Amino acid sequence: MNICLYGASSDAINKFYIEEVEKLGHEIAARGHTLVYGGGARGLMGAAARGAYAEGGTIIGVSPTFFNVDGVVFPDCTKLIETETMRERKQIMEDNADAFVMVPGGIGTFEEFFEILTLKQIGRHSKAVTILNLNGYFDEIFRLMQKAMDEKFMKEACHELTASFTDIYALLDYIENYKGHLVNIADMKHISDDN
């Protein structure tokens, strides 16, 4: 199975995050899965790649050519796919993934995650979408999403689109046992006659 990871590219973060995501990369490879990610050598992207590489795993990196400067791209990807744009990068990552994991990150991570979540909401894919909520990092996002549901900007059924974990083993168990099905857009959006 190909597991796509979205996460931070910065090294200027608490080492706890780096250590945990390196364990995640290691466990992805130990279970025989392929890591698909943005090709970075630093931050949580680099941590996941180092973990997978240490276990002898397969790593597919997808990186725009303008990132190909010293120290930015992980040098030991099994396969490195270069793109011209960030949009191409995201499409290739999506096309090569059977499941998705968001680990802590910034604007780019949020943008990638919410795009893949939106595509699931409108029935464009039926893959597992998961969050590794280390140190309560995503708690505020969960509160924002609940506020959107409470105020009827999103349906409560949107809870079913993703699953959050604090434990990497439970997260991977969930992905491995996930039975995907396309959602009915009317169940996720306020477009039916009764709303």
pTM value surpassing 0.85: yes
Q: What is the pLDDT of residues 96-114, one digit of tens each?
A: 999 999 999 999 999 999 9
Radius of gyration of the chain (CA): 17
Q: What is the pLDDT of residues 170-186, one digit of tens each?
A: 999 999 999 987 777 77
pLDDT at 47: 98
Average pLDDT over the chain reads 93
Q: With a cut of 80, say whether residue 165 has pLDDT above it.
A: yes
Q: Please, which pLDDT band fits residue 190 given cuts at 50, 70 and 90?
A: low
Give the mean pLDDT of 16-44.
Answer: 98
